[in-house]
A and B are shown apart, each in its own frame.
Chain A
């Protein structure tokens, strides 16, 4: 009998055939801890009685949610993190290079077929290169740091096939929002998503990243793309036969199969205050907005900033709208400077910030208040996420967000 991608990754890791529902202990290839959780991971690790990390080279610490500090309390996280790095001989630490999920793939910490855990729910992102990656809490992270292993339940797989050419005004973000709307916020809970079809084959790794990033918003454990030539180029490696084989077999068993025709997609938004409250932009046209946010681990990559710049070239952001642009990493910031994207955005009136989680987690730069509306390219529109609980957050693609910034209200991109 054939296997799905997740079954193959777990099988290769544990060295025996596995089936959904089975509980197995896997060897972890890499872990990521970010600034919010490092104090808790550090104290749990020591409380557990561990004296050393199972493999310091496999541990990555990234400061992103609190960078740069906006409250005095934040600095304690950096101090504890720095002490932990020194005490346990870690080398992989990023203090202001960008958002954790961007850096994990960009800096080469994750390869196809790897099993990776992170103390952040959007750790599902690394499925973009064919890795099984998932979010965990700080207690489980502390136990991995000591043992290098973790138990997982082999998940059932939902296969999503998309074929054809996307309309000009549709981005990968619109696809994943549509899918989350169709599945519901718990439609993939405990399950793996597997993407296939020529539309995703033709997509950049960055676009795949937007999709795997948001899989958790349907409850998924992971979201996997088959590694291909684009993956190899992105990861700066040659794929082995084992890595090329990370494709769902034709006789694999899926718990559900969903098929989309790419030409049927339209620009959509996730409306307040649930990510599965998805509506076509055409139904929301005319709603006045106060702010636009383009950034985050979902949509802060070069192609996202370039898509926004294409819309904003020789135009001005509406006078009463604040457009905040936050590149996902220092590397992307630099690339966007060098290719002229930043100049276009700045000329149009964007506020360009340092690479970090920024407004996405509602801690810095652009908090809103009662009655205000924001169109944002990040992954969550939960109650109170970007200020008070009476802020309306509409999630959209960078193209849609930039178009709205110019119009000062919700409009459909061309």
Chain B
């Protein structure tokens, strides 16, 4: 998946974890049960519209709020390939890496894109939108190790000699 393209959904600044999944749905048994309610306080129809391989483009501080790990898991369960935002909240960032949800930071893209358009991501290099290129940084080694292992659960299984 070094290079991929996807249709984009555009969101604003400070998309918090209560918007991504409200507390009232957190006691449902699986993240798949919760996924239809994703983003419901802001855009109740959005979860039903997202298709496998789509990309979210958002403003600053994406994922701020609670430590609920269901937030990145649900975004992944909806089929979102990656989230591109101006910045991410700290706990959401860790949770996403641990669950293998790709996050990309870019300051400019959000302000030029239109919902429904397509972007192309070349990992650790750049994002391409309508002929324009936006450079992106690569992740630190210890995080790439977790991603390369396939997430933290798999990394720990390896540590315990299971895989």
Contacts and interface: CB of A to CB of B under 8 A. Distances in A.
B64 A219 contact: yes
Interface stretch (B118-126, B129-137, B151-159): B151-159
Interface residues of B, number: 42
Given A23-B142, A49-B162, A71 B27 contact: yes
B75 to A, nearest CB: 13
B18 A36 contact: no
A221 interface: yes
Contacts of A66: 27
A47 interface: yes
Sorting the interface of chain A by its residue count into under 10, 10 to 19, 20 to 34 or 35 or more gives 35 or more
B153 A139 contact: yes
Given A119-B67, A382-B65, A36 B99 contact: no
Could you say which of A71, A121, A139, A389 has the most chain B C-beta atoms within 10 Å of its C-beta? A139
Contacts of B19: 382-384
25 contacts: A23-B142, A36-B27, A40-B69, A44-B153, A49-B161, A65-B23, A73-B28, A73-B29, A77-B27, A121-B65, A134-B91, A136-B67, A137-B94, A139-B69, A139-B152, A140-B95, A143-B156, A186-B89, A189-B87, A362-B23, A380-B18, A382-B41, A384-B22, A385-B18, A389-B42
Interface in B139-163: 140, 142, 151-153, 156-157, 159-162
B160 A121 contact: no
A384 B38 CA distance: 13
- Give chain A's interface secondary structure class: loop
B66 interface: yes
A119 to B, nearest CB: 6
A92 B66 CA distance: 24
B98 A185 contact: no
A297 to B, nearest CB: 12
Contact of B18 (A37, A76, A139, A382): A382
A146 interface: yes
Interface string A196-220: 0000000000000000000000010
B94 A140 contact: yes
B46 interface: no
B51 interface: no
A137 B153 contact: no
Interface string A272-300: 00100000000000000000000000000
A138 interface: yes
Contact of B16 (A48, A189, A363, A382): A382
Contacts of B152: 139-140, 143
Could you say which of A74, A134, A136 has the most chain B C-beta atoms within 10 Å of its C-beta? A136
Interface in B63-99: 64-70, 87, 89-91, 94-95, 98-99
Nearest to A361: B23
Contacts of A221: 90
Contacts of A123: 67
Given A136-B94, A185-B14, A49 B42 contact: no
A118 B67 CA distance: 9
A139 B61 contact: no
A47 B153 contact: yes
A344 to B, nearest CB: 31
Given A74-B27, A139-B152, A185-B64, A48 B98 contact: no
A37 B41 CA distance: 22
Contacts of A185: 14, 61, 64
B90 A190 contact: yes
Could you say which of B41, B70, B90, B99 has the most chain A C-beta atoms within 10 Å of its C-beta? B90
A50 B14 CA distance: 36
Interface in A121-154: 121, 123, 134-140, 142-143, 146-147, 151
Contacts of A136: 67, 91, 94-95
Contact of A121 (B24, B66, B157, B161): B66
Nearest to B151: A139
